[in-house]
Amino acid sequence: MPKTKISLGLSAYGYDWDVTHHKGDTLAWNATPALISRTHATPKWDSATSSPYFNYKATDGSSHVVWYENDHSVGLKAGLAKTKDFASVSVWALGLDNPSYWDAITTGFSAKTQKLHKR
């Protein structure tokens, strides 16, 4: 398939994994900062996936890990699409985002070079 027919999928959400009860729920891009603030979590960076994550304890005592996207990770992934000459990026799902999400995509496409770490 020609690269110009490929659209790189970008998520406007993350996953909040309850590792105690072995279940997960989606977490909208625009809801992530409030969860970080409410749980006093410290975001960390996984260079293998170029993605942020954080851990927290819920009020019921369960342990959680949240994998999500932020401005930096979305910019890197949009930059990868540009570097690889893909046709575009696709977003799932509209309405879970906010203006900073689109700014990150724009920044990624306009950057001269991007480096995405691979697993």
CATH class held by domain 3-110: alpha beta
Domain ranges of the chain: 3-110
HEC string of the chain equals: CCHHHCEEEEECEEEEEECCCCEEEEEEHHHHHHHHHHHCCCCEEECCCCEEEEEEECCCCCEEEEECCCHHHHHHHHHHHHHCCCCEEEEECCCCCCHHHHHHHHHHHHCCCCCCCCC
Give the pLDDT of the chain (119 residues) as one tens digit per residue.
898 899 999 999 999 999 999 999 999 999 999 999 999 999 999 999 999 999 999 999 999 999 999 999 999 999 999 999 999 899 988 888 888 999 999 988 887 544 554 44
**Per-residue pLDDT, 58:** 97
